[in-house]
Structure 1
């Protein structure tokens, strides 16, 4: 799909255009874009399911915890990794639009500057909320259960979407900075290591001291611990670093920091273009 076609998907701006209307127009454009080329979304949404089945059944019995317990431990971790995956998706989408000239065309239109990055991140949030459903269903099929109450479970899903929204802004800023979809694709694959350096897949208790510190200060560890706690699957370790010992507060803090830093940076970078 050409950059001209992508830009033409947005309705013409009128004199009554508002930042909200502009953001909704860009959001609609991204949803149409995903519908036309769903490859990246399908890949990022099916990968956690593949990892659940592979890790849960191949490695589950080899770990210290029994296979059934490990799958219950793993599902919240995969949900946390999915929340952090906004970095890769946001970076690729923003860099692709820059590389193909779409961002330059948007800047020539009389529209709100924050609308373009906000529309992208809002579309990612919506698709992520829908895309988590298959992982949850497969998790329930392999033995994972939500042991906590419904309000706690809703809180867990809310935290997951909040962190995804925050990481998508980080990815958006990186994509606007890189401005090359090939480089963004290569760097995006490197983000796969982030969940490995966290408690998403394994407990951090037996890691070496320095590595345990790195893993527990990883935002994904706070998110994984928060989901396990709220879903009633496991309680956070009392002797862990502060974000893991207080995972809900830790996730809220990490999300607030990411949003406070990368929302203005993304809007400023978009407004500056290739300067």
Structure 2
């Protein structure tokens, strides 16, 4: 148990003895959130790597690999929103790794033995992950501007695009928590990486479905990441290339429906598995 975890336990031990269940839940969840945020200060290298990796991906595709398949003209306006989306999806791996490490070290069992609100640990994990995603997205937007990408929509559309990206990240977060509960070991993250990368590249993040075989293009357009990427491109005022299918025409609707569906499936399942640990 690290010093950070001991600090979190101290926060639980000194929690007020009175108050409603809601206030207890908020206090416990905030204690777990502070624990996760304290890890940023104690392990800054891990945070930096998480921020640098998507930047390297963006620069690699924009400058080294170059133009996109099926994209006419400047590739940057098409690529940057796609990289925003892929970054939100790749966050699944970081969530799964963090939860499996806590499971493997016995941290979860120790917290569960404390008089703590059930699920506070998962709430703390989710809040910290979303905070890191906001920081990572801000860094990526800054780099996007540095390489020539521009936002042509208004402030409202910008807020809507950020909301769609974070909604996708929230869905990926709970998929990661669920997979961590199923796997239970950090070693299994590698197996998930093998699945996440093909799923990410089977989207329109870096290539237009129009450049693919019809059956593959249709599959790509229904990918949740494709819906978010297309919706963000549309809100930016520079939609780029899109197909003529129903999924492409209603990308905004799917960019909300897909994450909501995924959260509805994986959040209750993750919480249920968390409650059944050790039974």
Give the equivalent residue in structure 2 for 1:12: 12
Give the equivalent residue in structure 1 for 2:65: 59
User: Secondary structure at the residue paired with 2:210?
Assistant: coil
Question: Residues of 1 paired with 2:116 and 2:94: CA distance?
Answer: 24
| TM-score for both structures, normalised by structure 2 | 0.90
Give the equivalent residue in structure 1 for 2:134: 129
User: Secondary structure at the residue paired with 2:133?
Assistant: helix
CA contact (8 A) 1:236 1:246 kept: no
Indicate the larger mover: 36-45 or 93-102. 36-45
User: Secondary structure at the residue paired with 1:205?
Assistant: helix
Structure 1 gap segments, 5+ residues each: none
The 3 A distance-change label for structure 1 pair 162 and 61 is closer
CA contact (8 A) 1:60 1:66 kept: no
Indicate the larger mover: 135-144 or 8-17. 8-17
1:24 and 2:30 matched: yes
Query: What are the residue-to-residue correspondences of 1:52-201 with 2, within 5 Å?
Result: 52-61=58-67, 63-65=69-71, 69-188=74-193, 190-201=195-206
Q: CA shift at 1:42, angstroms?
A: 2.8
Q: Deviations over 1:11-68 (max 9, x none)?
A: 124324611111111111111123222444333322221122111122324755467x
Question: Residues of 2 paired with 1:185 and 1:33: CA distance?
Answer: 22
1:217 and 2:215 matched: no
Q: Deviations over 1:210-256 (max 9, x none)?
A: 211221121110110011011112167362242x3212211110111
Q: 1:273 aligns with which of 268, 273, 277?
A: 277
Question: Residues of 2 paired with 1:235 and 1:150: CA distance?
Answer: 20
Q: Deviations over 1:72-116 (max 9, x none)?
A: 111100001111123111111111110111111111011111211
| TM-score for both structures, normalised by structure 1 | 0.91
Q: 1:259 aligns with which of 263, 266, 273?
A: 263
Question: Residues of 1 paired with 2:242 and 2:206: CA distance?
Answer: 16
Question: Residues of 2 paired with 1:238 and 1:58: CA distance?
Answer: 27
Question: Residues of 2 paired with 1:61 and 1:87: CA distance?
Answer: 27
The 3 A distance-change label for structure 1 pair 44 and 186 is farther
Q: 1:48 aligns with which of 49, 54, 59?
A: 54
Question: Residues of 1 paired with 2:165 and 2:261: CA distance?
Answer: 15
Give 4+ residue runs of structure 1 displaced > 3 Å after superposition. Answer: 38-41, 61-67, 235-238
User: Secondary structure at the residue paired with 2:83?
Assistant: helix
RMSD, aligned α-carbons: 2.0
Question: Residues of 2 paired with 1:206 and 1:124: CA distance?
Answer: 35
User: Secondary structure at the residue paired with 1:12?
Assistant: helix
CA contact (8 A) 1:27 1:123 kept: yes
Q: CA shift at 1:71, angstroms?
A: 1.2
